[in-house]
Amino acid sequence: MAETLTGRIRAKYEVLQGDKRIAALARLRIGSDPVHAPVLTALRMLARRVQSLTEEHAVLTAELDDLVTRLNPGDGRPNGQDGRTAHHRQAQVIAVEDDGASTASAMTCTHSLTSTAR
């Protein structure tokens, strides 16, 4: 029975890509079937977590970009006009704000955020 459900889920959702697939899975209606409910619940919960993490990533990236631009505005031109974005200036800001151990964690955080955003 689970194979039938798996086949139906694949057929219905494999045609969707990226955000459309995640949004559709996040809206899944579970129903009352005790065999299928756990699988559908897990898919819906996972899709909603992906949406939440994507939103958190966007908010944190925007805040980090704003902070970096304010702390290290480059040559005074608006972001991007000097050939660099806030992502490029982050390493410089961290070097300027060097205070030992917190620098290593800031670099790790900056690298994680910027490497996934590209």
What pLDDT is recorded for position 90? 55
What pLDDT is recorded for position 35? 82
Q: d(Cα 59, Cα 45) in Å, to the nearest integer? A: 21
- Are 36 and 42 in contact by the 8 Å Cβ rule? The answer is no
What pLDDT is recorded for position 72? 75
Cα end-to-end distance, the chain, whole Å = 41
What is the helix (H) or strand (E) element at residue 58, kind and residue range?
Answer: helix 37-71
Q: Please list, in sequence order, all residues whose beta carbon lies within 8 angstroms of the beta carbon of residue 7, skipping any fewer than 6 positions away.
A: none
- Are 9 and 43 in contact by the 8 Å Cβ rule? The answer is yes
What pLDDT is recorded for position 26? 96
Delimit the domains of the chain by residue range. 2-117
pLDDT tens digits, one per residue of 35-93: 889 989 999 999 999 999 999 999 998 898 888 888 876 655 555 555 555 555 555 55
pLDDT tens digits, one per residue of 13-24: 999 999 999 999
Least confident among 7-11, 23-27, 69-73, 102-106:
102-106
Give start and end residues of each alpha helix (H) in 72-118: 86-96, 101-117
What pLDDT is recorded for position 66? 85
What is the helix (H) or strand (E) element at residue 9, kind and residue range?
Answer: helix 2-13
